[in-house]
Amino acid sequence: MRREDLPAPGSGEVLVRTRHTGISRGTETTVFQDRVPPEVADQMRAPHQEGEFGGPVKYGYLNVGVVERGPAELTGRTVFSLAPHQDLLVLPAADVHVVPDDVPARRAVLAGTVETAVNGVWEAGPRLGDRVAVVGGGMVGGTVAALLAGFPLDRLQLVDTDPRRRALADAFGLELVAPDDAAGDCDVVLHASGTEAGLATALELAGADATVVEMSWFGVRSPRVPLGAAFHARRLQLRASQVGEVAQARRARRSRADRLDLALRTLADDRFDVFLSGSSPFADLPATMARVTDPQSSTLCHVIDYPAVDPESRS
């Protein structure tokens, strides 16, 4: 934990007092464990990051707070921003997004993850009657499956090796299956397990001429990809999805702000509370990060709670 001097907000800026932040377990584990590849360090910078990977670095991008100073239309409003774990923030007013009144502040920390899932669904472009599999029921894969639960699909399966994902699956009426029990011949497969075995499963489940959308970020790891056997004979497409840009299928008509506002509106559904795996006070964040990023953790989104503090405090 470090303290810093915070400047007074200038014209076009807001002072935000944080209420909650969320730990984006996949990406933040990679940062916390110093596994960001140097060749993509610039692309993986958080919007309001300070410092360089390897540390010390101020990271995070799931922040919900209240505007204490700024334009009249924002003052007193609960806002989401792609800002780090920090109790007070000075940000450009354009970088905060008003949380809808029907979305609780704690649930709103999921907006960045839902935005990632929206982008993945736009990349995949599932169609009426499609057979779809989502491999990996973590924070991103689970959110993708939750969004797809409302689509008119012929079949949707959430594929995961961890039976502890049952609560998530039940909340959205999803069929949770182990990899060996997953149905093949899929039209679309989205992979988000972050594992080599999961990627192999995704390719195996894809039918002829199908698309596999890769949503995992492997960091410095180089997974083996099974491109032998029938990969070419089935004419499979393996596509990347990365939230830094709006999916190409929507890029001409949707901005990043549009995409994030859609994610926030989606969170009016109280079933998304199933993704909130627990909470800890801000003061315990160093120990919390070590626990949440442990490989054996089943955490989806761990919430960090911030206390009310003296308005003169600047940390």
Q: What residue ranges define each of the domains in the chain, with the CATH number in brackets? A: 13-112+254-305 (3.90.180.10), 126-240 (3.40.50.720)
User: What is the chain's mean pLDDT, rounded?
Assistant: 91
Between the alpha carbon of residue 63 and those of residues 17, 78, 151, 156, 285, the distances in Å are 10, 10, 29, 31, 14
pLDDT of 171 strictly over 50 = yes
High-pLDDT (> 90) share of the chain, %:
70
Q: At what angle do helices 111-124 and 256-266 cross, to 10 degrees?
A: 110
pLDDT band at 54 (very low <50, low <70, confident <90, very high): confident
Better-scored residue on pLDDT, 52 or 80: 80
Within 13 Å of residue 15, how many CA atoms lie on the same side as its CB? 13
Better-scored residue on pLDDT, 208 or 28: 208
Predicted confidence at residue 231, as pLDDT, reads 86
Please tell me the pTM assigned to this model: 0.90
Which residues on adjacent β-strands are paired with residue 311? none
Lowest mean pLDDT among 24-28, 60-64, 128-132, 271-275: 24-28
**pLDDT, tens digit (0-9, with 9 covering 90-100), for 57-66:** 899 999 999 9
What is the pLDDT averaged over residues 87-95?
96
Predicted confidence at residue 139, as pLDDT, reads 92
**pLDDT, tens digit (0-9, with 9 covering 90-100), for 14-52:** 999 999 999 988 788 888 888 888 887 887 888 888 888
DSSP per-residue letters across the chain: ------PPP-TTEEEEEEEEEEEEHHHHHHHHTT---GGGTTTT--TT-EE-TTSSEE----EEEEEEES-TTTTT-EEEES--S-SEEEEEGGGEEEPPTTS-TTGGGGHHHHHHHHHHHHHH---TT-EEEEE--SHHHHHHHHHHTTS--SEEEEE-S-GGGHHHHHHTT-EEE-GGG----EEEEEE-S-SHHHHHHHHHHEEEEEEEEE----TT-------STTTTTTT-EEEE--TTS--TTTTTT--HHHHHHHHHHHTTSGGGGGGEEEEEEGGGHHHHHHHHTSTT---SEEEEE-----TT---
**pLDDT, tens digit (0-9, with 9 covering 90-100), for 177-191:** 999 999 999 999 999
pLDDT of 294 strictly over 90 = no
Predicted confidence at residue 79, as pLDDT, reads 98
pLDDT of 101 strictly over 60 = yes
